[in-house]
Structure 1
Amino acid sequence: SRSLLIPCLNKTMNRTKSDSDSSLPKNFETNLAEVRDALINMGTLPYLTDGTLLGWYRECSIIPHTSDADFAVSRLEYRENKSFKKIREPLIYSWNSAKVLEWDSLEVTLRPEKGGSIDIFISYDQVDDEHLYTHGVSGDGTRVKWIVPRPTGFCSGILRGRLFYVPCNVEETL
């Protein structure tokens, strides 16, 4: 199903001027594509998640006032590859590895030179047959756990002219 292209809704959102100002550098999707390719080359399947998935599906874009973008990968793929440190070798990014634990990772944050950040969340299967969970850190530093519907498979979506993997059950996931 990865070849199945899911269309985004291309809705226009009514935003104030400040909500329309982008916090991310121009052409940030190039950074996303570089990270996507590096993750794929590591043997993982990165898919859009959280606000990035919402922005793609609702607006066919990145939500303008967001300051980051989000991918998720399976814990099993992470364990097979031992470390995401391989990802920074071909890229010019700073990286926050303090949050990475092999058995219970919160998130990996990459910071491209030109601004913005890309979070990589590890998804865990241990909830039940219909859900999985990811961990993260809220703005005030509190550890959080999100339980979300398990992707029924992975399809493709176009975000600013580039293909990315998305859960095939995108509406249920959101």
Structure 2
Amino acid sequence: MLHSGNGFVRTMILSDKCEKWIQNSIQLPIPALLVDQNILQQLQLNICNKMRLNRKIKIAVDAENFGSSKFDFENFELLRFYNHTDKDYLVFEVSSENKIIIPKNFSYKINNNLKVPTQISLFLDLWNRGNFVNCRNMTMRRDSTKKGIYTMLRNVLLPPRKPIPVLESVRTLAQLRDEMLKFGIFPFLNGGTFLGWYRECSVIPHTTDMDIAVFAENWNLQFSEFMWTHNSSFRVKRQLGLVNDSYELTLVPKNGFETPVDVFLMYKEIENGKENRWVGGLTTTGIKYKYMYPEYDPWCAADLMGHLFWVSCTPEDKIQKEYGNTWYLDENSSKYIWNAAQNAVENGRFSREQMKTETYNEYKINDFS
């Protein structure tokens, strides 16, 4: 993916030859979106003088306009899409059983009634990650807030945070998703947020933060720098670990309820010829933990209260790995012990000097002034 000097995904400018090719080759009586991956890749390379069409051009047409024209679409493969006002994504019908969803706010240019994406590599990534997967929408019996002695003592020493407002927090997470996409970063739901989406199609009502993860190889350091500017809608509240080891950022919005969003880097390792993934956890004394996952496949797309988020294509497999066979039972967040998860193992420790200087940092609002 191409980036500009400030780290943002670069916007493409079509060459004159490509502009002319579109005008001559794709003439439509109704608005449509170009979703043909082969043509988009050639447009991205600006090699339109060598464009060869040996099959139908794939375009998508709004369902409201579908069938409204008597135009002969013989040279086109048509997809129908839906633009629901209460969703922040478009829904494309690929077949009767499969659909693709992508965010509405991708950049494009209109040429002869044809919308042509202008950040093509990003658009293709959105498309390839867009296979829709549904949540379970289970009816939950909420866990009692009654606590054992250990939990009560822990809550005296470390008072639990207040539950987050659900709708506002989901909107906050979608806003962060959009800021990350500007840098070519694709976050996916993780931890309790992932569990809440899959199990309940919502946010667990007693949760106190949101969790997302990013593949370490997809991380863009310029995004971290952007978080420290006045241009971001978020500020860094906490940073744990190092970029190459157990890295975690806690971000909070600058306006509205300060919903903490924990952003974990997910690392890859090969063990006995098999790929594993893990995210880190860190105690205040420097002990590191790994949350271990089998080979990860985050690239499906899901709806969380009208907003698009990326998730594993095999959600129950990943959730069972972390939360065990009783993942479908509610456990009050005030009782949750993060380093006692089913898939958590110790992973060494950072030195006292590292903890003082680089691997455990908390920030106040004044640090941003």
Question: Per the shorter chain, which TM-score range?
Answer: 0.7 to 0.9
State the AA in 2 paired with 1:7: N
Query: 2:215 matched to which residue of 1?
Result: 74
| Contact 1:4 1:155 (C-alpha < 8 Å) held by counterparts | yes
Matches within 5 A, 1:1-174: 1-15=128-142, 23-25=163-165, 26-78=167-219, 80-87=220-227, 89=229, 90-113=231-254, 114-128=257-271, 129-137=274-282, 142-174=287-319
Change in Cα spacing, 1:92 to 1:152, as seen in structure 2 (3 Å) is closer
Deviation at 1:27, TM superposition (A): 1.8
SS at match of 1:76: helix
Deviation per residue, 1:81-111 (Å, 9 max, x gap): 4552324544333313532523214310002
Change in Cα spacing, 1:42 to 1:87, as seen in structure 2 (3 Å) is farther
SS at match of 2:242: coil
SS at match of 2:170: helix
Name stretches of at least 5 consecutive residues in structure 2 with no aligned partner: 1-127, 147-161, 320-369
Deviation at 1:115, TM superposition (A): 2.1
| Contact 1:42 1:86 (C-alpha < 8 Å) held by counterparts | no
Deviation at 1:43, TM superposition (A): 1.1
Deviation at 1:116, TM superposition (A): 2.0
Q: CA RMSD in A?
A: 2.5
- Of residues 120-129 and 88-97 in structure 1, the stretch that sits farther from structure 2 once superposed is 88-97
| Contact 2:275 2:294 (C-alpha < 8 Å) held by counterparts | yes
Task: Please give the alpha-carbon distance, in whole angstroms, between the structure 2 residues aligned to 1:139 and 1:54.
Answer: 26
- Of residues 60-69 and 10-19 in structure 1, the stretch that sits farther from structure 2 once superposed is 10-19
Change in Cα spacing, 1:23 to 1:40, as seen in structure 2 (3 Å) is same
| Contact 2:209 2:262 (C-alpha < 8 Å) held by counterparts | yes
- Of residues 127-136 and 111-120 in structure 1, the stretch that sits farther from structure 2 once superposed is 127-136
Structure with higher Rg: it is 2
Task: Please give the alpha-carbon distance, in whole angstroms, between the structure 2 residues aligned to 1:68 and 1:173.
Answer: 20
State the AA in 2 paired with 1:34: Q
- Of residues 127-136 and 6-15 in structure 1, the stretch that sits farther from structure 2 once superposed is 127-136
TM-score with structure 2 length normalisation?
0.42
SS at match of 2:134: coil
SS at match of 2:269: coil
Structure 1 runs (4+) greater than 6 angstroms displaced:
none
Name stretches of at least 5 consecutive residues in structure 1 with no aligned partner: none
SS at match of 2:194: helix
| Higher-RCO chain (CA-CA 8 Å, sequence separation at least 6) | 1
| Contact 2:241 2:282 (C-alpha < 8 Å) held by counterparts | no
Deviation at 1:161, TM superposition (A): 0.7
SS at match of 1:98: strand
Task: Please give the alpha-carbon distance, in whole angstroms, between the structure 1 residues aligned to 2:140 and 2:283.
Answer: 25
Change in Cα spacing, 1:153 to 1:70, as seen in structure 2 (3 Å) is closer
